[in-house]
Amino acid sequence: MNGKFGTDLTTGSIPKHLVRFSLPMFIGNLLQTALGFTDAIWVGNIVGPNAVGATQVSFPIQFLLIALSNGATLATTILVSQYYGAGDHEKVKKTVNNSFSVALIFGALLTAMGLLLCDDILIWMNTPPEIFPMASSYLKIIISGFIVTFLVNLIMSILRGIGDTMTPLIFMAIAVGINIVLDPILIIGIGPIPKMGFNGSAVATVISQVIGLVTALIYLNRKNHFISIDFKSLKLERAHVIKLFRIGFPSMLQQSLISINSVFITGMVNRFGADATTAFGASGRIESIVFMPAMSIGLAVSAMTGQNLGAGNVKRVREVFKWGAIMTAGITLTLSAIIVLFPKLLLSMFVRKLEILEIGIGYLRTLGFAYILFALMFVSNGVINGSGRTLVTMAITVLSIWLIRIPLAALLSSTSLGINGIWLAVVIGFAVGLAASVVYYFAGRWKKAAFKPRQSTG
Protein backbone atom coordinates (compact mmCIF):
# COMPACT_ATOMS: atom_id res chain seq x y z
CA MET A 1 0.00 0.00 0.00
CA ASN A 2 1.28 3.43 -0.90
CA GLY A 3 0.10 6.57 0.82
CA LYS A 4 1.05 10.12 1.55
CA PHE A 5 2.37 9.14 4.95
CA GLY A 6 4.23 6.07 6.15
CA THR A 7 6.26 3.41 4.37
CA ASP A 8 5.02 0.17 2.84
CA LEU A 9 7.26 -2.56 4.29
CA THR A 10 5.54 -5.40 2.45
CA THR A 11 7.46 -4.91 -0.82
CA GLY A 12 10.99 -3.98 -1.85
CA SER A 13 14.42 -4.90 -0.52
CA ILE A 14 14.30 -6.27 3.03
CA PRO A 15 17.88 -5.22 3.96
CA LYS A 16 17.19 -1.70 2.70
CA HIS A 17 13.97 -1.50 4.69
CA LEU A 18 15.72 -2.74 7.81
CA VAL A 19 18.45 -0.13 7.41
CA ARG A 20 16.08 2.72 6.55
CA PHE A 21 13.74 1.81 9.39
CA SER A 22 16.29 1.04 12.09
CA LEU A 23 18.93 3.67 11.31
CA PRO A 24 16.83 6.67 12.46
CA MET A 25 15.94 4.75 15.64
CA PHE A 26 19.60 3.89 16.19
CA ILE A 27 20.59 7.54 15.73
CA GLY A 28 17.82 8.53 18.11
CA ASN A 29 19.05 6.04 20.71
CA LEU A 30 22.57 7.32 20.13
CA LEU A 31 21.37 10.85 20.81
CA GLN A 32 19.74 9.65 24.03
CA THR A 33 22.94 7.89 25.03
CA ALA A 34 24.98 10.99 24.19
CA LEU A 35 22.62 12.87 26.46
CA GLY A 36 23.18 10.28 29.19
CA PHE A 37 26.93 10.57 28.71
CA THR A 38 26.71 14.36 28.89
CA ASP A 39 24.62 14.16 32.06
CA ALA A 40 27.08 11.75 33.65
CA ILE A 41 30.08 13.88 32.71
CA TRP A 42 28.48 17.07 34.03
CA VAL A 43 27.19 15.64 37.31
CA GLY A 44 30.26 13.44 37.81
CA ASN A 45 32.73 16.28 37.42
CA ILE A 46 30.68 19.11 38.95
CA VAL A 47 28.58 17.45 41.63
CA GLY A 48 30.87 14.46 42.33
CA PRO A 49 31.06 10.67 41.85
CA ASN A 50 28.13 10.05 44.20
CA ALA A 51 25.91 11.82 41.67
CA VAL A 52 26.76 9.15 39.08
CA GLY A 53 25.82 6.49 41.62
CA ALA A 54 22.58 8.33 42.42
CA THR A 55 21.68 8.34 38.74
CA GLN A 56 22.30 4.58 38.50
CA VAL A 57 20.23 3.85 41.60
CA SER A 58 17.41 5.96 40.15
CA PHE A 59 17.55 4.31 36.76
CA PRO A 60 15.75 1.03 37.57
CA ILE A 61 12.72 2.96 38.83
CA GLN A 62 12.74 5.21 35.77
CA PHE A 63 13.19 2.13 33.64
CA LEU A 64 10.17 0.49 35.30
CA LEU A 65 7.91 3.42 34.39
CA ILE A 66 9.31 3.71 30.87
CA ALA A 67 9.02 -0.08 30.46
CA LEU A 68 5.34 0.07 31.35
CA SER A 69 4.78 2.80 28.78
CA ASN A 70 6.84 0.95 26.15
CA GLY A 71 4.88 -2.23 26.77
CA ALA A 72 1.59 -0.39 26.38
CA THR A 73 2.70 1.44 23.25
CA LEU A 74 4.06 -1.75 21.65
CA ALA A 75 0.45 -2.91 21.36
CA THR A 76 -0.27 0.25 19.38
CA THR A 77 2.70 -0.37 17.07
CA ILE A 78 1.56 -3.95 16.41
CA LEU A 79 -2.07 -3.04 15.71
CA VAL A 80 -1.19 0.01 13.62
CA SER A 81 1.34 -1.95 11.56
CA GLN A 82 -1.07 -4.82 10.89
CA TYR A 83 -3.96 -2.49 9.97
CA TYR A 84 -1.63 -0.40 7.83
CA GLY A 85 -0.31 -3.50 6.07
CA ALA A 86 -3.91 -4.56 5.43
CA GLY A 87 -4.71 -1.11 3.98
CA ASP A 88 -7.30 -0.20 6.65
CA HIS A 89 -6.70 3.49 7.50
CA GLU A 90 -9.96 3.79 9.40
CA LYS A 91 -8.90 1.17 11.95
CA VAL A 92 -5.49 2.82 12.19
CA LYS A 93 -7.22 6.07 13.22
CA LYS A 94 -9.44 4.30 15.74
CA THR A 95 -6.42 2.56 17.25
CA VAL A 96 -4.62 5.91 17.56
CA ASN A 97 -7.59 7.63 19.27
CA ASN A 98 -8.13 4.83 21.73
CA SER A 99 -4.40 4.55 22.45
CA PHE A 100 -4.18 8.22 23.39
CA SER A 101 -7.19 7.95 25.68
CA VAL A 102 -5.67 4.94 27.45
CA ALA A 103 -2.25 6.64 27.64
CA LEU A 104 -3.64 9.76 29.33
CA ILE A 105 -5.42 7.72 31.99
CA PHE A 106 -2.69 5.15 32.54
CA GLY A 107 0.10 7.76 32.42
CA ALA A 108 -1.57 9.83 35.14
CA LEU A 109 -1.98 6.77 37.37
CA LEU A 110 1.66 5.71 36.92
CA THR A 111 2.88 9.23 37.68
CA ALA A 112 0.92 9.35 40.93
CA MET A 113 2.05 5.88 42.00
CA GLY A 114 5.68 6.65 41.14
CA LEU A 115 5.72 9.77 43.29
CA LEU A 116 4.14 7.93 46.22
CA LEU A 117 6.39 4.87 46.15
CA CYS A 118 9.80 6.01 44.87
CA ASP A 119 11.37 6.57 48.32
CA ASP A 120 10.14 3.20 49.59
CA ILE A 121 11.62 1.47 46.56
CA LEU A 122 14.96 3.25 47.03
CA ILE A 123 15.06 2.04 50.64
CA TRP A 124 14.14 -1.49 49.59
CA MET A 125 17.00 -1.41 47.03
CA ASN A 126 19.54 -0.87 49.85
CA THR A 127 20.48 2.53 48.43
CA PRO A 128 23.67 3.75 50.18
CA PRO A 129 22.90 6.62 52.65
CA GLU A 130 25.34 8.99 50.95
CA ILE A 131 23.44 8.62 47.67
CA PHE A 132 19.82 8.46 48.89
CA PRO A 133 18.95 12.21 49.17
CA MET A 134 20.18 12.99 45.64
CA ALA A 135 18.50 9.92 44.16
CA SER A 136 15.19 10.75 45.83
CA SER A 137 14.98 14.38 44.72
CA TYR A 138 16.16 13.56 41.20
CA LEU A 139 13.59 10.78 40.81
CA LYS A 140 10.65 12.87 41.99
CA ILE A 141 11.35 15.52 39.38
CA ILE A 142 11.72 12.95 36.59
CA ILE A 143 8.54 11.11 37.61
CA SER A 144 6.56 14.36 37.69
CA GLY A 145 7.06 14.64 33.94
CA PHE A 146 6.45 10.97 33.19
CA ILE A 147 3.03 11.39 31.56
CA VAL A 148 4.68 13.60 28.94
CA THR A 149 7.30 10.93 28.28
CA PHE A 150 4.49 8.38 27.92
CA LEU A 151 2.71 10.47 25.25
CA VAL A 152 5.97 11.09 23.37
CA ASN A 153 6.64 7.33 23.31
CA LEU A 154 3.11 6.71 22.06
CA ILE A 155 3.49 9.10 19.11
CA MET A 156 6.77 7.43 18.16
CA SER A 157 5.20 3.97 18.39
CA ILE A 158 2.34 5.02 16.10
CA LEU A 159 4.73 6.42 13.52
CA ARG A 160 6.85 3.24 13.69
CA GLY A 161 3.72 1.21 12.97
CA ILE A 162 3.25 2.99 9.63
CA GLY A 163 6.94 2.61 8.80
CA ASP A 164 8.04 6.17 9.65
CA THR A 165 11.08 6.42 11.91
CA MET A 166 12.58 9.62 10.46
CA THR A 167 9.93 11.96 11.88
CA PRO A 168 10.37 10.63 15.46
CA LEU A 169 14.13 11.15 15.04
CA ILE A 170 13.57 14.83 14.28
CA PHE A 171 11.40 15.26 17.38
CA MET A 172 13.95 13.42 19.51
CA ALA A 173 16.86 15.46 18.13
CA ILE A 174 15.07 18.67 19.09
CA ALA A 175 14.38 17.41 22.63
CA VAL A 176 17.90 16.05 23.16
CA GLY A 177 19.51 19.23 21.81
CA ILE A 178 17.48 21.34 24.23
CA ASN A 179 18.33 18.98 27.09
CA ILE A 180 22.07 19.14 26.39
CA VAL A 181 21.97 22.94 26.29
CA LEU A 182 19.90 23.21 29.48
CA ASP A 183 21.97 20.72 31.50
CA PRO A 184 24.98 22.90 32.37
CA ILE A 185 22.82 26.03 32.61
CA LEU A 186 20.54 24.53 35.26
CA ILE A 187 23.23 22.52 37.07
CA ILE A 188 25.69 25.41 37.42
CA GLY A 189 23.28 28.33 37.28
CA ILE A 190 23.95 31.06 34.73
CA GLY A 191 22.77 34.68 34.96
CA PRO A 192 19.31 34.94 36.52
CA ILE A 193 18.87 31.15 36.48
CA PRO A 194 19.57 29.74 39.96
CA LYS A 195 22.01 26.90 40.56
CA MET A 196 20.06 23.64 40.89
CA GLY A 197 22.99 21.23 41.18
CA PHE A 198 22.16 17.58 40.52
CA ASN A 199 18.43 18.33 40.26
CA GLY A 200 19.12 20.66 37.34
CA SER A 201 19.74 17.61 35.17
CA ALA A 202 16.28 16.24 35.97
CA VAL A 203 14.55 19.59 35.35
CA ALA A 204 16.30 19.88 31.98
CA THR A 205 15.01 16.42 31.03
CA VAL A 206 11.39 17.27 31.87
CA ILE A 207 11.49 20.60 30.01
CA SER A 208 12.97 19.00 26.90
CA GLN A 209 10.31 16.26 26.89
CA VAL A 210 7.52 18.83 27.11
CA ILE A 211 8.97 20.74 24.16
CA GLY A 212 9.35 17.49 22.20
CA LEU A 213 5.69 16.55 22.78
CA VAL A 214 4.41 20.00 21.80
CA THR A 215 6.55 19.95 18.64
CA ALA A 216 5.23 16.51 17.64
CA LEU A 217 1.58 17.48 18.18
CA ILE A 218 1.96 20.71 16.21
CA TYR A 219 3.64 18.87 13.34
CA LEU A 220 1.04 16.10 13.10
CA ASN A 221 -1.91 18.48 13.18
CA ARG A 222 -0.52 21.14 10.83
CA LYS A 223 0.53 18.53 8.28
CA ASN A 224 -3.01 17.08 8.27
CA HIS A 225 -1.48 13.68 8.93
CA PHE A 226 -3.98 10.82 8.91
CA ILE A 227 -2.84 10.03 12.46
CA SER A 228 -3.15 13.64 13.66
CA ILE A 229 -4.32 13.91 17.25
CA ASP A 230 -7.58 15.70 18.06
CA PHE A 231 -7.92 15.65 21.83
CA LYS A 232 -11.57 16.74 21.59
CA SER A 233 -12.51 13.55 19.75
CA LEU A 234 -10.62 11.06 21.92
CA LYS A 235 -12.73 8.17 23.17
CA LEU A 236 -12.61 4.68 24.59
CA GLU A 237 -14.20 2.01 22.40
CA ARG A 238 -14.60 -1.35 24.06
CA ALA A 239 -13.46 -3.46 21.10
CA HIS A 240 -10.28 -1.45 20.49
CA VAL A 241 -9.40 -1.14 24.18
CA ILE A 242 -9.72 -4.93 24.56
CA LYS A 243 -7.32 -5.47 21.63
CA LEU A 244 -4.85 -2.99 23.10
CA PHE A 245 -5.10 -4.68 26.48
CA ARG A 246 -4.87 -8.22 25.07
CA ILE A 247 -1.65 -7.46 23.21
CA GLY A 248 -0.29 -4.72 25.47
CA PHE A 249 -0.73 -6.25 28.91
CA PRO A 250 1.69 -9.18 28.40
CA SER A 251 4.19 -6.74 26.87
CA MET A 252 3.78 -4.35 29.80
CA LEU A 253 4.26 -7.22 32.20
CA GLN A 254 7.32 -8.41 30.28
CA GLN A 255 8.91 -4.95 30.26
CA SER A 256 8.06 -4.52 33.93
CA LEU A 257 9.70 -7.82 34.81
CA ILE A 258 12.82 -6.74 32.94
CA SER A 259 12.93 -3.43 34.78
CA ILE A 260 12.17 -4.99 38.17
CA ASN A 261 15.04 -7.33 37.43
CA SER A 262 17.21 -4.20 37.26
CA VAL A 263 15.94 -3.24 40.71
CA PHE A 264 16.93 -6.66 42.09
CA ILE A 265 20.31 -6.69 40.37
CA THR A 266 21.06 -3.12 41.47
CA GLY A 267 20.06 -4.05 45.00
CA MET A 268 22.52 -6.98 44.94
CA VAL A 269 25.25 -4.73 43.56
CA ASN A 270 24.52 -2.10 46.22
CA ARG A 271 25.44 -4.63 48.91
CA PHE A 272 29.03 -4.38 47.70
CA GLY A 273 29.16 -0.63 48.43
CA ALA A 274 28.96 2.75 46.68
CA ASP A 275 32.00 2.02 44.47
CA ALA A 276 30.23 -1.04 43.06
CA THR A 277 27.06 0.99 42.45
CA THR A 278 29.00 3.68 40.61
CA ALA A 279 30.95 1.13 38.55
CA PHE A 280 27.70 -0.62 37.62
CA GLY A 281 26.22 2.71 36.54
CA ALA A 282 29.19 3.76 34.42
CA SER A 283 29.43 0.30 32.82
CA GLY A 284 25.73 0.35 32.04
CA ARG A 285 26.09 3.56 30.04
CA ILE A 286 28.79 1.96 27.90
CA GLU A 287 26.83 -1.27 27.59
CA SER A 288 23.77 0.59 26.31
CA ILE A 289 25.65 1.44 23.10
CA VAL A 290 25.93 -2.26 22.25
CA PHE A 291 22.22 -2.84 22.73
CA MET A 292 21.09 0.15 20.64
CA PRO A 293 21.57 -1.35 17.15
CA ALA A 294 19.99 -4.65 18.21
CA MET A 295 17.03 -2.91 19.80
CA SER A 296 16.52 -0.74 16.71
CA ILE A 297 16.70 -3.71 14.35
CA GLY A 298 14.41 -5.69 16.64
CA LEU A 299 11.77 -2.95 16.46
CA ALA A 300 12.20 -2.81 12.68
CA VAL A 301 11.69 -6.58 12.51
CA SER A 302 8.55 -6.25 14.66
CA ALA A 303 7.02 -3.52 12.44
CA MET A 304 7.91 -5.40 9.23
CA THR A 305 6.42 -8.60 10.66
CA GLY A 306 3.22 -6.78 11.58
CA GLN A 307 2.78 -5.18 8.16
CA ASN A 308 3.60 -8.40 6.27
CA LEU A 309 1.31 -10.58 8.37
CA GLY A 310 -1.38 -7.95 7.89
CA ALA A 311 -0.83 -8.28 4.13
CA GLY A 312 -0.82 -12.09 4.37
CA ASN A 313 2.87 -12.53 3.45
CA VAL A 314 4.39 -15.08 5.83
CA LYS A 315 7.30 -16.08 3.59
CA ARG A 316 8.63 -12.52 3.60
CA VAL A 317 8.74 -12.57 7.40
CA ARG A 318 11.23 -15.45 7.30
CA GLU A 319 13.53 -13.29 5.16
CA VAL A 320 13.08 -10.42 7.59
CA PHE A 321 14.28 -12.69 10.41
CA LYS A 322 17.30 -13.88 8.41
CA TRP A 323 18.48 -10.42 7.43
CA GLY A 324 17.77 -9.02 10.89
CA ALA A 325 19.95 -11.72 12.48
CA ILE A 326 22.81 -11.16 10.01
CA MET A 327 22.85 -7.39 10.51
CA THR A 328 22.50 -7.58 14.29
CA ALA A 329 25.29 -10.14 14.67
CA GLY A 330 27.77 -8.16 12.58
CA ILE A 331 27.21 -4.89 14.43
CA THR A 332 27.05 -6.37 17.94
CA LEU A 333 30.21 -8.47 17.58
CA THR A 334 32.16 -5.42 16.41
CA LEU A 335 31.02 -3.26 19.33
CA SER A 336 31.59 -6.10 21.81
CA ALA A 337 35.18 -6.49 20.65
CA ILE A 338 35.87 -2.80 21.29
CA ILE A 339 34.39 -3.01 24.79
CA VAL A 340 36.31 -6.17 25.73
CA LEU A 341 39.60 -4.75 24.42
CA PHE A 342 39.36 -1.21 25.85
CA PRO A 343 37.16 -1.27 29.00
CA LYS A 344 39.40 0.97 31.11
CA LEU A 345 39.65 3.65 28.46
CA LEU A 346 35.87 3.74 28.08
CA LEU A 347 35.16 3.76 31.83
CA SER A 348 37.66 6.58 32.40
CA MET A 349 35.28 8.96 30.64
CA PHE A 350 33.08 8.81 33.74
CA VAL A 351 35.19 7.77 36.72
CA ARG A 352 38.87 7.79 37.67
CA LYS A 353 38.90 6.05 41.03
CA LEU A 354 40.94 2.83 40.73
CA GLU A 355 38.58 0.68 42.82
CA ILE A 356 35.61 1.69 40.67
CA LEU A 357 37.53 1.07 37.46
CA GLU A 358 38.50 -2.46 38.55
CA ILE A 359 34.88 -3.42 39.23
CA GLY A 360 33.72 -1.89 35.94
CA ILE A 361 36.41 -3.66 33.93
CA GLY A 362 35.37 -7.00 35.42
CA TYR A 363 31.76 -6.31 34.44
CA LEU A 364 32.47 -5.28 30.84
CA ARG A 365 34.89 -8.11 30.14
CA THR A 366 32.48 -10.72 31.50
CA LEU A 367 29.37 -9.39 29.75
CA GLY A 368 31.21 -8.35 26.59
CA PHE A 369 31.42 -11.92 25.32
CA ALA A 370 27.68 -12.47 25.80
CA TYR A 371 26.11 -9.38 24.21
CA ILE A 372 25.61 -11.27 20.94
CA LEU A 373 23.20 -13.65 22.73
CA PHE A 374 20.99 -10.83 23.95
CA ALA A 375 21.20 -9.01 20.61
CA LEU A 376 19.99 -11.98 18.56
CA MET A 377 17.10 -12.47 20.96
CA PHE A 378 15.83 -9.00 19.99
CA VAL A 379 15.46 -10.26 16.41
CA SER A 380 13.56 -13.47 17.16
CA ASN A 381 11.43 -11.68 19.75
CA GLY A 382 10.75 -8.99 17.15
CA VAL A 383 9.04 -11.55 14.91
CA ILE A 384 7.08 -13.02 17.83
CA ASN A 385 5.93 -9.58 19.03
CA GLY A 386 5.09 -8.45 15.49
CA SER A 387 2.67 -11.37 15.22
CA GLY A 388 0.92 -10.12 18.36
CA ARG A 389 2.09 -13.02 20.53
CA THR A 390 3.44 -10.86 23.32
CA LEU A 391 2.43 -13.49 25.88
CA VAL A 392 5.20 -15.73 24.50
CA THR A 393 7.96 -13.12 24.86
CA MET A 394 6.69 -12.45 28.37
CA ALA A 395 7.07 -16.16 29.18
CA ILE A 396 10.62 -16.11 27.77
CA THR A 397 11.42 -13.18 30.05
CA VAL A 398 10.05 -14.98 33.10
CA LEU A 399 12.19 -18.02 32.27
CA SER A 400 15.47 -16.28 31.50
CA ILE A 401 15.35 -13.61 34.19
CA TRP A 402 13.17 -14.77 37.06
CA LEU A 403 13.83 -18.48 36.96
CA ILE A 404 17.50 -18.26 35.95
CA ARG A 405 19.22 -14.87 36.31
CA ILE A 406 17.89 -13.58 39.64
CA PRO A 407 18.13 -16.83 41.68
CA LEU A 408 21.53 -17.63 40.17
CA ALA A 409 22.84 -14.10 40.86
CA ALA A 410 21.75 -14.34 44.49
CA LEU A 411 23.41 -17.74 44.82
CA LEU A 412 26.68 -17.02 43.03
CA SER A 413 27.22 -13.59 44.61
CA SER A 414 27.15 -15.30 48.01
CA THR A 415 30.08 -17.52 47.05
CA SER A 416 33.76 -16.69 46.61
CA LEU A 417 32.86 -15.19 43.21
CA GLY A 418 31.36 -12.19 44.99
CA ILE A 419 30.08 -9.50 42.65
CA ASN A 420 31.45 -11.42 39.66
CA GLY A 421 28.82 -14.07 40.37
CA ILE A 422 26.16 -11.50 39.45
CA TRP A 423 27.81 -10.86 36.08
CA LEU A 424 28.04 -14.61 35.37
CA ALA A 425 24.35 -15.11 36.18
CA VAL A 426 23.40 -12.39 33.69
CA VAL A 427 25.37 -14.17 30.95
CA ILE A 428 23.65 -17.49 31.64
CA GLY A 429 20.28 -15.75 31.59
CA PHE A 430 21.09 -14.29 28.14
CA ALA A 431 21.85 -17.78 26.80
CA VAL A 432 18.63 -19.31 28.13
CA GLY A 433 16.51 -16.43 26.78
CA LEU A 434 17.98 -16.70 23.28
CA ALA A 435 17.54 -20.47 23.21
CA ALA A 436 13.86 -20.26 24.19
CA SER A 437 13.13 -17.46 21.70
CA VAL A 438 14.81 -19.20 18.76
CA VAL A 439 13.11 -22.52 19.51
CA TYR A 440 9.71 -20.81 19.44
CA TYR A 441 10.54 -18.98 16.20
CA PHE A 442 11.53 -22.17 14.39
CA ALA A 443 8.43 -23.94 15.73
CA GLY A 444 6.55 -21.51 13.47
CA ARG A 445 3.53 -20.79 15.66
CA TRP A 446 3.95 -17.05 15.06
CA LYS A 447 2.66 -17.65 11.49
CA LYS A 448 -0.84 -17.80 12.94
CA ALA A 449 -0.80 -14.33 14.41
CA ALA A 450 -2.69 -13.71 17.63
CA PHE A 451 -4.47 -10.94 15.74
CA LYS A 452 -4.60 -10.59 11.97
CA PRO A 453 -6.73 -8.33 9.80
CA ARG A 454 -6.41 -10.68 6.83
CA GLN A 455 -5.98 -14.41 6.46
CA SER A 456 -2.27 -15.27 6.24
CA THR A 457 -0.87 -17.56 3.58
CA GLY A 458 2.54 -19.04 2.90
Instruction: Please write the tens of the pLDDT for every residue from 355-369.
Output: 899 999 999 999 999
Quick one: average pLDDT of 281-292? 85
CA pair distance 219, 170, nearest whole angstrom: 11
Neighbour count for residue 193 (Cβ, 10 Å): 12
pLDDT of 124 above 70: yes
Quick one: average pLDDT of 389-399? 92
pLDDT attached to residue 458: 43
Q: What is residue 417's three-state secondary structure?
A: coil
pLDDT attached to residue 48: 63
- pLDDT, one tens digit per residue, over 397-454 is 999 999 999 999 999 999 999 999 999 999 999 999 999 999 999 998 888 755 555 5
Would you list the domain boundaries of the chain? Answer: 14-447
Tell me which H or E stretch contains 147. Answer: helix 146-161
Q: Which residues pair with 313 in a beta bridge?
A: 457
Local confidence band at 335 (pLDDT 50, 70, 90 cut-offs): very high
CA distances from 236 to 186, 240, 243, 244, 440 (A): 40, 8, 12, 11, 34
pLDDT attached to residue 84: 86
* Span of 120-134, 293-307, 311-325, 346-360 with lowest mean pLDDT: 120-134
Contact 370, 427 (CB under 8 A): yes
Local confidence band at 392 (pLDDT 50, 70, 90 cut-offs): very high
Q: What is residue 107's three-state secondary structure?
A: helix
pTM of structure:
0.77
pLDDT attached to residue 457: 42
Q: What are φ and ψ of residue 86, in 5° steps?
A: -85, -5
pLDDT of 40 above 80: no
Nearest-5° angle of CA 341, CA 342, CA 347?
145
